[in-house]
Amino acid sequence: MKKYQYVTVLTIAGSDSGGGAGIQADLKTFASLGCFGTSAITAITVQNTVGVKDIHSIPVNIVAGQIRAVMDDLKPSAIKIGMVHSAELASAIANTLKDYRDVPVILDPVMVATSGDRLIQKETVEVLKKELFPLATLVTPNLDEAEILSGMEVRSPETMEEAAHLILQTGCNAVLVKGGHLKRDTLQDIYLDRMGTATTISSAYIDTNNTHGTGCTLSSAIASFVARGLPLAEAVLEAGKYVHQAIAEGSDVKTGEGNGPLNHFFDPQSQIKI
């Protein structure tokens, strides 16, 4: 009998009790794109579509233990990192992942929720930049996060590119600055890698409040496509197409009283081109 293996991906992120972002969105995305999802939970949030009410941290040694348990047994082909809310946790994750340097890391520096709630301690930012970013294959900040990371105002495609160059100096391999918060007819993301030439990725704006978990979903989709064997730049493009369609398919669905989630299971198999 022929044996085979699932394409496995690990998410290191917080749990969203509302199901639209964090670990829940990551696992939905992995499954939707044909990957076997595993997880290391960093925190439990008291959260719904309206906002974040509280955050309970998971002990750092337990987070590190979850990572090693998955990496040593299931051997993921890619890692997605989401909410890392404390300096101690950032250091622990970095120290753990140094033993698995051959596995691509997609880091979504989750700092501000769609609702506007701050999700990360201020002192954690510098530790992230110093210890985790150099391990990252790709970092995917939105505009608010790009401002925090670059120390400059980021409100146009031109300043997005400038911020990307500054963030790249932290030692990460590539940066994707997401422009969704500009809410123009045509949205633009800026992709920059070590080759030095920025690439603009455009998509049509979809008028909907159902965008909760968009950043989590995008980084997880990129990790999925990388795990399935696509080069990074191509994985970014394919993940963008998947997220855009997931937003479109969930744009008119009523889920909660605030910012609703994407439709992760819209039949995305057409997105997989490998």
Residues tagged active-site: 178, 211, 213-216
Strand order in the sheet with 8-16: 52-57, 36-47, 8-16, 78-81, 105-107, 138-139, 174-177, 186-193, 199-204
For residues 148 and 23, what is the distance between their CA atoms, to the nearest angstrom?
23
Phi, psi of 191 (to 5 degrees): -105, 130
Residue 206, CA distances (Å) to 28, 105, 106, 182, 267 in order: 21, 29, 25, 12, 19
What are residue 21's DSSP bridge partners? none
Q: What angle is formed at CA 40 by the lines to CA 7 and CA 267, rounded to 5 degrees? A: 45
Place of tokens 């949030």: 45
Query: 118: closest CA among 149, 83, 164?
Result: 83
